[in-house]
Structure 1
């Protein structure tokens, strides 16, 4: 069995385990560089739980890499950016989740790359953004912005006006996540718009506190309003 397949099997076994959080420490026995390719592969796994958990594991792995060599961490983050580029021929599914988790776990990575993540929702030429036309891929970006705003809201606040646009997104996930971020960055100017969405019944299935959660747009909007106080 190749090194890649061997590591991937071990990592997948950990992430598929009901006790996966306790077992994450086992990943410390691998070099970060050996974990990155299998984790990128597992973001497309057949199991929903493994797909989500691979992002969590990547964030921890990227932080270890940044601590040892920030230059190597930059290379990995640039690789993720390349995955998001149409010219790469790659699928961007899950990549924004990986980017966000890396920034949650490493302040140095966050400082250098947060503007890239936010730029994927920029929707006008003035901001020279990288707006993603595909609504389902934007979901991953908005979810990533929720994660980043939970820990480093000041790095997301400059995207406020584009998050406001997200409240009108036809995709329920994007409305819900945009609302949640606006609450986390204390965007008081969004209060009226959020009040109008607080009873939105559209359902979404997300990953929250490392658990899969079924909720509604309205519930996340009300959480955002609670954050505004």
Structure 2
């Protein structure tokens, strides 16, 4: 227990540092022992949650060559946390899932469709995330995947379009942001324009790679500064 507590303290200090990205190789070098502490950080502040997700992606990428089954087990663990039967709500799991798919070829190849499935609503036998607040993170995660692996995220485009009419207004903004991370498509433009013209000013926060960036649904639909 003391060892776990010490590891959590050390990793948290590294991820809260101004140069936290410079410490990612150190965290990734811990391998599987870093997974537990990083997962616990997904329940903390939005910024630390996202940074922990990035770090988890680095861990997964570091494991894929020598321990591919460990990568699959981590991804299955994330899937379990998104399952209602686990007893968890799944806070931070879509962010971690996305960053793992961005960082690891293996995770991306085997699991990108699982991430997208969380916003696919069918009448039955779907994997749709029906928790509004958690679904916001699912849309963000698909947008993040689109930044790193647009060919894989392209499959999500029709579902992101449907997300522009999500009952939850923040989900609409996140779906708009995710859609704008994909290569432009002429079919997207009128849908995004309509959402922007509706003028919803509900507050959203987008992780820009370093910190949380406050914006609004209207701004996200109209198109704003994207992550480099």
TM-score (norm. length: structure 1): 0.89
Write the mapping of 1:3-82 to structure 2, written as runs, cut at 5 A. Answer: 3-30=3-30, 32-45=31-44, 47-82=45-80
**Correspondent of 1:187 among 182, 185, 188:** 185
Contact 1:100 / 1:144 at 8 angstroms: preserved in 2?
Answer: yes
User: What 5-or-longer segments of structure 2 have no aligned partner?
Assistant: none
Equivalence for 2:132: 135
Give the distance between the partners of 1:49 and 1:123, measured in 2 at CA. 29
Please give the alpha-carbon distance, in whole angstroms, between the structure 2 residues aligned to 1:29 and 1:157.
Answer: 32
Contact map agreement 2:28 2:56 (CA 8 A) in 1? no
Deviation at 1:29, TM superposition (A): 4.0
Q: CA deviation at 1:142?
A: 0.5
What SS does structure 2 have at the residue aligned with 1:68? Answer: coil
Kept in 2: contact 1:121–1:129 (CA 8 A): no
Give 4+ residue runs of structure 1 displaced > 6 Å after superposition.
none
Quote the residue 2:204 is aligned against: 204
Q: Note the C-alpha offset of 1:169.
A: 1.7
Give, in whole Å, the separation in 2 of the partners of 1:222 and 1:67.
Answer: 41
Residue 129 of structure 1: CA displacement? 2.6
Tell me, yes or no, if the aligned pair for 1:202 and 1:217 is still in contact at 8 Å: yes
Asked if 2 retains the 8 angstrom alpha-carbon contact of 1:160 and 1:187, the reply is no
Length, aligned pairs only:
222
The reply to whether residue 109 of structure 1 matches residue 96 of structure 2 is: no
Alpha-carbon separation, structure 2, partners of 1:60 and 1:173: 29
- Conserved 8 A contact 1:55-1:101: yes
Which secondary structure does the structure 2 equivalent of 1:73 belong to?
helix
Q: Distance in 1 between matches of 2:58 and 2:189?
A: 34
Stretches of structure 1 that go unaligned for 5 or more consecutive residues are none
Structure 1 Cα separation of the partners of residues 105 and 186 of structure 2: 26
Structure 1 residues 135 and 28: CA distance shift in structure 2, 3 A: closer
Deviations 1:130-155 (A, max 9, x none): 01111101011111001000111221
**Counterparts of 2:19 and 2:49, CA distance in 1:** 16
Q: Is the 8 A contact 2:29 2:62 kept in 1?
A: no
Q: TM-score, normalised by structure 2?
A: 0.90
